[in-house]
Amino acid sequence: MAVGSQIEWTEATWNPTTGCTKISPGCKNCYAERLSKRLKSMGVKKYRNNFEFTEQPNDLTLPYSWKKSKRIFVNSMSDLFHEESRMEYIASCFHVMLDVERHQYQVLTKRSEKMKQFSDLFENFFGDIIPPHIWMGVSVENENYKYRIDDLRDTKCHTRFLSIEPLIGSVGKLNLQKIDWVIIGGESGYNYREVKKEWILEIIKQCKKQNVAVFFKQWGGIRPKSGGRIINGRIYDEYPKISSFDNILKEIAYDEKEFAKFCKSKLKEKSALLNI
Ligand code: SF4
């Protein structure tokens, strides 16, 4: 969608899909829903379906237009692994990410199971896992949704991150094995739910202990910047260390359409097996 994102931990946003459906308490005051309504009322064509899940094939090629390397948040206005998102369309999005390798992509979801399922298809097709410049992440808002971290651990990829935002309850004990980066943030907007300092500190402490990079994005409040981002006199501004890695996938010539077809057909086989 845009270069120069307001989101502290990224540099640009790319929305090859828009719209979503609320799935857990973290979605209650969804910023993407509010913004979609606003953009629709302003007559922005891309948001004519308001917050209904919509593929945006016209935006698929946007990363090609950014000549300098960027950190790109994939789908700030949606969830790529939404129930209605077709596996072949997801494959097309990944094709772009593989092809435009100069960027780093931050793919964040609350649909961790579908993400894991897609990563299996990816590995089956390429014979290798999702490369390190495509960071795969899950959102966790309180301790009831920590199962998404387990799904992320099982996702076939190199770089994994957590967005613990909006933090609306203690997450308790965290297993951060195989996790490279943790973002923490309080909620913002008129109906924001206040974050407790001890919830933030317990996460930071566990990141330090388990040697995981931590980024404290915001305290939250009416506006994202209302409370600032200093905690105990300091700013936590760390990023994952992505070791230089020989990406063998860039040597593989493959047909983009075959990849999409593969994802579609394998899913059909699986559905037939499960009788769904
Ligand atoms: S998953 Fe994300 S985009 Fe979708 S409704 Fe929830 S908060 Fe909004």
Q: Where are the domains of the chain?
A: 2-274
Whether 1 has a pLDDT exceeding 80, the answer reads no
Give the separation between CA 17 and CA 39, rounded to whole angstroms.
15
Which of 1, 30, 50 to mutate to test ligand 1, by most ligand atoms within 8 A of the CB atom? 30
Report helix, strand or coil for 168. coil
- Is the Cβ atom of 35 under 6 angstroms away from ligand 1? no
Mean pLDDT of 204-215: 98
CB-based contact 3:11 (threshold 8 Å) = yes
**C-alpha of residue 258 to centroid of ligand 1, in Å:** 30
User: Closest by alpha carbon to 16, among 119, 112, 96?
Assistant: 96
Q: Which atom of ligand 1 is nearest to the CA of 78?
A: 3
Whether 34 has a pLDDT exceeding 90, the answer reads yes
Look at residue 246 in the predicted model and tell me its pLDDT: 65
For residue 169, count other CB atoms closer than 10 A to its CB: 16
Look at residue 266 in the predicted model and tell me its pLDDT: 74
DSSP 88-110: HHHHHHHHHHHH-TTSEEEEEES
Query: Ligand 1, atom 5: nearest CA belongs to which residue?
Result: 22
Judged by average pLDDT, the poorest of 43-47, 61-65, 88-92, 270-274 is 270-274
Q: Which atom of ligand 1 is nearest to the CA of 109?
A: 1
**C-alpha of residue 76 to centroid of ligand 1, in Å:** 9
Mean pLDDT of 85-112: 96
- Is the Cβ atom of 27 under 6 angstroms away from ligand 1? yes
Look at residue 251 in the predicted model and tell me its pLDDT: 76
CB-based contact 14:3 (threshold 8 Å) = no
CA distances from 29 to 22, 93, 191, 235 (A): 10, 27, 7, 26
* Residues whose CB falls within 8 Å of the CB of residue 56, separated by 6 or more in sequence, listed in order: 15, 16, 17, 18, 46
Give the separation between CA 97 and CA 62, rounded to whole angstroms.
11
Query: Ligand 1, atom 7: nearest CA belongs to which residue?
Result: 27
Which of 18, 22, 75 to mutate to test ligand 1, by most ligand atoms within 8 A of the CB atom? 22
* pTM for the structure as a whole: 0.94
Mean pLDDT of 31-45: 96
* Residues whose CB falls within 8 Å of the CB of residue 152, separated by 6 or more in sequence, listed in order: 112, 115, 116, 136, 137, 138, 160, 162, 179
Give the separation between CA 89 and CA 11, rounded to whole angstroms.
24
Q: Which residues pair with 18 in a beta bridge?
A: 54
* Residues whose CB falls within 8 Å of the CB of residue 41, separated by 6 or more in sequence, listed in order: none
Beta-strand runs (E) in 110-245: 130-139, 157-164, 181-185, 213-218
Mean of per-residue pLDDT scores for the chain: 93
